[in-house]
Amino acid sequence: MGEEEDEPSPKLAKIDVELHPFHRLKNPVVLNEVKEKKLVFLHGKVGEDNKDAVVILEKRPFDTSPKGLKSLFSEETKLRQDLLNDIYSTYAAVPTSPHTEIKTTVIYPATTKHIEKYTKQEVEVIEETGDDYKQITLPYLKEENRFSVQWVFNILDKKSESERIVFEDPDPEIGFILLPDMKWDLKDIESLYLMALVHRHDLKSLRDLNKDHLPLLKNIKQRGEDAIQEKYGVKKHKLRIYFHYQPSYYHLHIHFTNIAFDAPGSSVTRAHLLTDVIENIEFMSDYYQKKTMTFVGKRDDKLVTALRKTP
């Protein structure tokens, strides 16, 4: 078989430098840095009214296509030698784009909650009982309005990101929209990351699920797996499908990632596999209303503080 043709590079939309908050960020401060993942989180002010903005910078994976490798090892890549010893040598290499691209996420205007979310803090393990959820967590979520989900409604109503939808089942009870997560660059299949957003507005998290929702969960699993295999060629046994608890936002959604990808939040302290959730509910309908849920929270988070004070 011959080499596959390279996919055409997506056209970049022209950005108005004078208006975009990225170019007007003043006095950026590092909120957090994850060096092993080549990630940095910044906070700064924008405009004369000094509105807050959060900027997330992430080094993109190497372009390992034939065209990408050819450009990497071309004379356009600048080298500065750092060490030479017998057969070993090291260099600071400065390749041309796309190898030097930096994935950039801008949250603007950002709220205090966004700034707190991305600020480095000590974390601790929290055990939330079913009663804790009803008496502490649920009232807290209602009072704090923790992270707006308007952007989710925009997707479900086709006001935003409609061109990114991979699959949709429009059924109001068991339907969902499947689309790429913002963390995925849409190129590297090994780091494949999609999410399913349910059409129902009355489900916030795992805590709301019972036997009445089994058709919804099974539908998302089967049709999500089928859509991903058809679109990206990734078979179901190569997928990790899971919920987060606690989730970043409270509209029920499910994560689909390539098992080869060490996705953020895929560890045992936060991820709950969809197959396990289905089986647990089949065993006991109110399993997630009664179960003590263990998660990792930031030490200074108000909810973590409240839950820590419970007996």
CA 17 from centroid of its chain's CA atoms: 27
Catalytic status, residue 255: no
Positive or negative: CA dihedral 258, 259, 261, 267: positive
Please report where in the chains the tokens 């935003």 appear, as a residue: 160
Question: Among residues 104, 248, 229, which one has the least CA distance to residue 178?
Answer: 229
Q: Assess contact for 89 and 83: CB atoms under 8 A.
A: yes
Residue 226 host element (H or E):
helix 214-232
Q: Assess contact for 223 and 167: CB atoms under 8 A.
A: yes
Q: Assess contact for 196 and 254: CB atoms under 8 A.
A: yes
What does the alpha-carbon distance between residue 287 and residue 150 come to, in Å, rounded to a whole number?
A: 29
Residue 303 to residues 135, 168, 248, 258: CA-CA distances in angstroms? 12, 35, 13, 32
- Tokens coding 38: 């080549």
Please report where in the chains the tokens 């999500």 appear, as a residue: 224
Among the options 99, 253, 255, 272, which is catalytic? 253
Beta strands in the chain (DSSP E): 26-34, 39-46, 51-59, 78-85, 88-94, 102-107, 123-128, 167-169, 176-180, 193-198, 239-244, 253-258, 271-273, 293-298
User: Annotated active-site positions, please?
Assistant: 253
